[in-house]
Amino acid sequence: MTSLPAHTEKKLGLVIDLDTCVGCHACATSCKEWNAGGYSAPLTDQDAHGADPHGAWLNRIHSYEVGEGEASRTVHFPRSCLHCETPACVTVCPTGASYKRAEDGIVLVNPDTCIGCKLCSWACPYGAREYDYDDGTMKKCTLCIDRIYNETFAPEDRIPACVRACPTGARHFGDLGDPTSAVSQLVQEREGFDLLPEMDYRPTNKYLPPRPRRDSQSPSTAPATEPALPRSTGSLADQFFAWADKTLAR
């Protein structure tokens, strides 16, 4: 059924901390690895060793330069399905392959009924759905339903592969529908926000803003000045090395 559930018991989702993300792509590669064998299998690549390699990935990491001049900063930005509460990707699906689960709010594609019409990917503002050219079906983040409910796993592994892989702890998983949950508290504390709120898809996933820059005047964060080079003694060899150093530094 591609009609949306009126309400979901839980709102499982991710909270992504743009302050601590270092843009290492560990979450993306870990996602690809898990899903190429899990629910989303096969998660194919095309022309993998050729001139135009590409494939379906469920998580992509952008890096942006934000702000101007001295105040500018680099922000790494992981982008995946936000498991929206009112997503058109579900309602446009003609087959019912795309659906939102009433129990936990996860948005899934049924790989056995998807006809690969691609309309859902047109309806997603976040570019979260990628078509699998070999399988002929649509792929998207499953929030690792095959991990989070897997009772054969140790409890600490019952989290999405991306969250497990993140070396800086920039990704958090939990129930955003429960105001007392750790993720909800984090969103509250750090003023987590929605992407493209004006589109009114009501994403479940939240992003945490980078923390304010520390004052660049303070000695602890002042840019280290290069130690002065010992003065040239004027010998021919010294002059040569000074010239070589200058030339190579260009």
Partner 1 sequence: MHPAYSVIIFTTTSGAGYGLLIGLALALRLGIVPPDPLLGFFGLGAALALVTTGLLTSTAHLGRPERAWRALSQWRSSWLSREGVAAIVTYVPAAVLGLGWVFGEVMPGQLAVGASLSVLCALVTLWCTGMIYASLPTIRAWDQPLVAPIYIALALATGSVLLTLLLAAFGYPLRAAAMASVAALALGWILKARYWMAIDAAPRTHTAEAATGLGRFGTVRPLDPPHTQSNYVMREMGYQVARRHATKLRRIAAVLLFAVPMLAALLLLLDGSAPIQIAIAAVSTLSAAAGVLTERWLFFAEAEHVVVVYYRGGSA
Q: Is 94 in the site for partner 1 (CB under 8 A)?
A: yes
| 3-class SS of residue 103 | coil
Under rule CB under 6 A, which residues in 99-138 are in contact with ligand SF4?
Answer: 107, 109, 114-120, 124, 126, 128-129, 138
Cα separation, 205 vs 17, in Å, equals 11
Helices (H), 73-206: 88-91, 119-123, 145-148, 161-165, 182-190
End-to-end, the C-alpha distance of the chain in Å comes to 63
Candidate ranges 43-51, 65-73, 78-86, 230-238; the one touching ligand SF4 (CB under 6 A): 78-86
Cα separation, 55 vs 133, in Å, equals 8
Q: Is 97 in the site for ligand SF4 (CB under 6 A)?
A: yes
Q: Compute the half-sphere exposure of residue 216: CA atoms within 13 Å on the CB side of its CA.
A: 7
Q: Which does 184 bind (CB under 5 to 8 A by kind): ligand SF4, partner 1, none?
A: none
| Per-position x/- string for 180-199, each x denoting binding to ligand SF4 as judged by CB under 6 A, each - no binding | --------------------
Cα separation, 123 vs 136, in Å, equals 18
Contact pick of 201, 206, 207, 208 for ligand SF4 (by CB under 6 A): 201
Q: Is 209 in the site for partner 1 (CB under 8 A)?
A: yes
Contact pick of 132, 162, 174, 204 for partner 1 (by CB under 8 A): 132
| Per-position x/- string for 25-64, each x denoting binding to partner 1 as judged by CB under 8 A, each - no binding | ---x-----------------------xxxxxx--xxxxx
Q: Which does 202 bind (CB under 5 to 8 A by kind): partner 1, ligand SF4, none?
A: none
**Rg of the chain taking only CA atoms, in angstroms:** 24
